[in-house]
Amino acid sequence: MLQKGTKAPEFELSSGDGENISLQDFKGKNLIMAFYPADWSPVCSDEMALFNEMLKYFSKYEAVLVGVSVDSKWCHQAFSKSRNLHFPLLADFEPKGEISKKYGVYDEKEGTSDRALFVIDKEGVIAWSYLSPVGTNPGADGILEALENLTSKNNYV
């Protein structure tokens, strides 16, 4: 898994809305990447719902959120609509898990992304990463702390 201080790997993935979204689209903003195993699974559903509720807090830190799994854009579209999500879900579908592998969070045995979080700063460098234990919703505390640390760092530079 990629660690703090590493330049975030480039990506371009389809969203459930049919848009292609790349790392470059977030230049000048803090980016939260939430990798997760699968749409519709109980833990993933809870995790994405929590993050959806946290969007206003993330925006206070000039941060945007994307979810990433190996599900297709069609699956993401249905899942996002059913859960009323207000952030893009990106399909790491084909080649399967290519971006998850670049970030070091692909589970070869299961054929899914691990549940992992990355906060990427405005310059495209990983400021914080976390690999959640299997079946555990990581919550948002670590994300908020990482964003707070970025804000504090930028206020003293």
Give the angle subtended at the CA of 47 by the CAs of 65 and 88, to the nearest 5°.
30
Residue 111 belongs to a domain: yes
Side chain identity, residue 116: A
CA distance 71 to 121: 26
Of residues 44, 75, 99, 116, which has the active-site annotation?
44
Instruction: Give me the domain span that covers residue 146.
Output: 12-156
Reported as a pLDDT band with limits 50, 70 and 90, residue 157 is very low
Query: Does residue 6 form part of some domain?
Result: no
pLDDT (tens digit per residue) in 68-106: 999 999 999 999 999 999 999 999 999 999 999 999 999
Q: Please report whether residue 5 resides in a domain.
A: no
pLDDT in tens, 38-53: 999 999 999 999 999 9
Number of domains in the chain: 1
Q: Quick check: is 75 catalytic?
A: no
| Residue 19 within any structural domain of the chain | yes
- How much is the pTM? 0.95
Residue 3 within any structural domain of the chain: no
Confidence of residue 155 (pLDDT cuts 50, 70, 90): low
Question: Which CATH number do you get for residue 145?
Answer: 3.40.30.10
CB-based contacts of 143, cutoff 8 Å, min separation 6: 32, 54, 58, 117, 119, 128
20-22/12-15 β-pairing: antiparallel
